[in-house]
Structure 1
């Protein structure tokens, strides 16, 4: 097993609309405090994959991450990566508690889906409330373009305490910043109460470059109740400059926790 990667967790979304990242609201749900977003937990978990395979992993690697226990602002997070077949088994802990598990691999490159064949819908000027109807299977969703300027890219690297010089040296966007667009698919299209990202399966298709505009094109694949939670699954294609496919993601979130229901 490679040397574990340690990073001090930081809640980037303390001021966001999603109040699960607010101390007071999160405590009402039984947590000790505000949750660090799952997309940032994923960002920490990606570090060993990039350390193992470098830029190649950003261009055609894969990863899957499931979140099991909260990570809180200021926690010292430890990411362990063990060789598993031709890939890595990932375990992320805080104070010995397993917070996330997953795997990363470097499969052969594939022909990316054609961005033009994926429907895109501009976010509405007035978002409707999240519901079984507005997040019905088959619903097409999209995000407004995000321009990843040098300042935006550098700010994210600092916020996730990324220690690998690859991104700044080669002008590449961090995979956590790419996955953030999958959350924006929900945030920009419906009004949500407190909600929780619970896992993602990612297939990288190309390295996103600093200076590019990124958008997400998505379709709701499933919206169902499990253990009292209302859970939505999205199939998302992240696209650079409206033509270059960067990542394909199966993104899962509890859009209405059972505590709210």
Structure 2
């Protein structure tokens, strides 16, 4: 499993796009994140009643749209009638996965939080978009892991490491059973070198209501390869000002 290539030495992942003003998981939020220069856009994948893949975080549409109910109980026509709740005064729609991929192709990598969908169908749409080398899939269950291994054996997968992993031996045993390309947690700082030796990148989550300079520096000082943020513009500016993020001549994995 090989991670998508990145042009920066420290990876910035825009959580649900750049959504402080634009609606989360919208085409506008994705587009703004791309323009800011992030390395990955994180997006959440779910399925409509009639089998279409759409971007939405919650199972219920109530929080982020004009509608009510579960996304899996709505067909595509019903989803298309929904509008996203927005602060910018514009009308935004729930994106289809295929439309989001089209926007991202050759412009930004995709961090796909695989909420509720079929791996075979998702990979089919990734291949149709020519995005096989630009997607990292975050899996949430053991069954999702198995589904992706069957559907796309070479697709890089990411998940959190169990807290019981305390030693290099326990880490190696776990990864032998469940190979991963990346993780979003660091159970123990002492494991960082072993994680790198096992080809495991660490992209910590710093997105939170209290995300600030302290949380950024805490993550950076751990020596991880990147972070996922709700404030991509401010974070990139800070990293550049402090010479913590620079372009590399040869894109890194």
Report the TM-score when normalising by structure 2: 0.20
Structure with more helix by fraction: 2
